[in-house]
Amino acid sequence: MGKRYSLRRRAAYSATIIALVLALGTLGMHFIEGMSLVDSFYFTSLIATGEGPSTTPETAAGKIFASFLSFISIGSVVASLIFLLGPFAGTLLKYGIEFGEEELKRIEKAAEHKNGQARKEESSSGSK
């Protein structure tokens, strides 16, 4: 239950951060540029996902706000996804390393066995 709760908490934090950035960006573009709320949300979501906006802000204040918004929103989305998926990626990496180490041991053991067989054959053919 602890892991599930932790994952839910991480998901809630991540969703909250992304929603906050989208809300601030939407309201900022709405009041600075005079866009409708739907257009402001669309503009902000395109910036936050790294797609890039379909229109360019018309005012200098809008352009400056969009510039800061792009740095903050892209960073927030990436950080939220890393925060959410980090434990999963760490577990996957751990199992991958363990699997790699086991395979390396298996290969080394097979090579030792093969070398041992070759030595036996050499010694038996040399004594004849």
Taking residues 38-42, what's their average pLDDT? 95
Q: What is the pLDDT of residue 12?
A: 87
**What are the tens digits of pLDDT across the range 61-84?**
999 999 999 999 999 988 888 888
Contact 59, 33 (CB under 8 A): yes
Q: Is the CATH code 1.10.287.70 the one for domain 2-126?
A: yes
Task: For residues 82 and 10, give the distance between their C-alpha atoms in angstroms, rounded to a whole number.
Answer: 10
Q: What is the pLDDT of residue 52?
A: 84
Contacts of 14 (CB under 8 A, 6+ apart): 80, 81, 83, 84
